[in-house]
Amino acid sequence: MKLKIAIQKSGRLFEDSVKLLKECGIDLNNGKSGALRTEAANFPLEVLFLRDDDIPQYVEDAVADIGIVGENVLLEKGKTVNKVERLGFGKCRLAIAVPKGEDYSGPNWLSNKKIATSYPRILGDFLKKNKVNAEIHEISGSVEIAPGIGLADAICDLVSSGSTLFMNGLKETEVILRSEAVLVATKGLSEEKTATLNKLLFRIQAAKKAKHNKYILLNAPNDKVEDIIKILPGMKSPTVLPLATSGWSSVHSVVQEDDFWNIIEGLKANGAQGILVVPIEKMIM
């Protein structure tokens, strides 16, 4: 039995979702563009292309076994599914924004105001938690123009760069959710499909880990190698190879992107030369 995955048909999550499957070695090239479903040639996976809003329902109903969707949509729809893995793309925040000139002092500012949003459930929970009584005006798109045309006093919408808010004379005042794309699964997946999902998950994790790590190669005088190894943790321990030039070694290791620049500075300070940093395609621990 093939595992059925639902991904966005077109939109902000489409490309990254297809790319992720590709990085997992899953070939969807037989799917014509605009197709509603396709099958992978080399993995027991069937792909359904849907509107993101419909994905939580399809997965809850087990029409799709798994799906890729933004946490914002998942929470708003309130469907019962298992969250399996955060995927690191489609990052955004659901935020409250008010006209630039307003003196926003905190959630109480919203009392008895009208807030336009496509996220009535998440906004409602936020207002309830803060004991604020406000009117939620649900609209399905172009939320950011609502204050300008006198439809609302504030908005609650997704933000990534903030330029849409800026262009509409709004300022972000409150982040109520940080969101990214997640892999979700239906409850009660069969044993066979769970095994396929685990296989996919193993590949996703290897691809994710590879993105956070870099392979580093450098040359160092032999008397500095010990200090340099202390800076470079590596997966087990760094590889040290003699160079043709006597008195010098080549050191190879893996470093995390987070503390990357600190490590490079430490290496240079300890006499490392010819530092090369290369991306890793897959990382299997």
Give contact residues for ligand PRT (rule: CB under 6 A): 8, 11-13, 51-53, 70, 72-73, 90, 92, 157-164, 179
Q: How far is the CB of 179 from Zn ion (least distance, A)?
A: 13
Amino acid making up residue 67:
G
Residue 175, both tokens: 């982040």
Cβ distance to ligand PRT smaller for residue 17 or 253: 17
| Token pair belonging to 31 | 């799917």
**Residue owning tokens 């799709």:** 64
- Asked whether position 53 contacts Zn ion by CB under 5 A, the answer is yes
Does 52 bind Zn ion (CB under 5 A)? Our answer is yes
Closest distance between ligand PRT and the C-beta of residue 27, in Å?
24
Question: Angle CA(91)–CA(93)–CA(94) in degrees, nearest 5?
Answer: 140
Please state the closest distance from residue 7 (CB atom) to Zn ion, in A.
Answer: 13
Contact present, 145 and 168 (Cβ < 8 Å)? yes
Alpha helices in 114-178 (DSSP H): 120-129, 163-167
Q: Does 157 bind Zn ion (CB under 5 A)?
A: no
State the nearest-atom distance from the C-beta of 28 to ligand PRT, in Å: 18
DSSP H or E segment with residue 279: strand 273-279
CB of 91 to ligand PRT, least distance (A): 6
Q: Near Zn ion by CB under 5 A, which window of 49-57, 82-90, 195-203, 262-270?
A: 49-57
Contact partner, 161, from Zn ion, ligand PRT, none, Cβ < 5-8 Å per class: ligand PRT
Rounded Cα gap, residues 23 and 11, in angstroms: 20
Residue (of 104, 83, 87, 103) closest to 95 by Cα position: 104
| Binding residues among 80-109 for Zn ion as defined by CB under 5 A | none
Residues that bind Zn ion in the complex, under the rule CB under 5 A: 52-53
